[in-house]
Structure 1
């Protein structure tokens, strides 16, 4: 089994896609006016409008802008440089760049729907090794 993607459901897809394009510097591919993806060799971040919920059983399946348990994480080359780029774009900076006990330097902020986003860079030898081996 292979994790394919993470999908965010939003009431304002254009705003959220624009936010992620700004903070990542990567353009999304739009498949319909209700669905877009940011793809790379390792992962996919999909964004769907609330109208797509009808395809999955209706609005009772998911609710936009209500996530309080998932953090969307991006491996970046330099968290401190990313912070300089993101700090004026993010809705809220939750935690400025900080080295975590497990060895990653981490920046935590919120997107326009209030979802938590973590930019991280392995900072210790153990974290770098873990990132390279995938463990």
Structure 2
């Protein structure tokens, strides 16, 4: 093997040493984005379930518990009534693994008309 061929082989090793961490970082960002998308879907499901329970007239504690079961871990849930609607908002933080990848706040709201007794 010539001297030039050996030097080229060393360059490939150096290039790989730089490229592999970049590829791993991009993969982490993609996984964090996927995790945020999954958490968004879970927030939507929790908001819908909570607003349906609130519209039925379930106790506030039950509404919170139902929404909390469907929501991502650490989600903040708020329940209110506006006009004739029950409104449940679910907010959670996604991503941010080890401070290396970005953090997103995902939010979903469910609004359901309040059921009237005797209908």
Higher RCO by CA contacts (8 Å cutoff, separation 6 or greater): 2
User: Hey, which of these two has a bigger chunk of strand by percent?
Assistant: 1
User: Hey, which of these two has a bigger chunk of helix by percent?
Assistant: 2
TM-score surpassing 0.5?
no
| Greater Cα radius of gyration, structure 1 or 2 | 2
TM bucket (normalised to shorter chain) is: 0.3 to 0.5
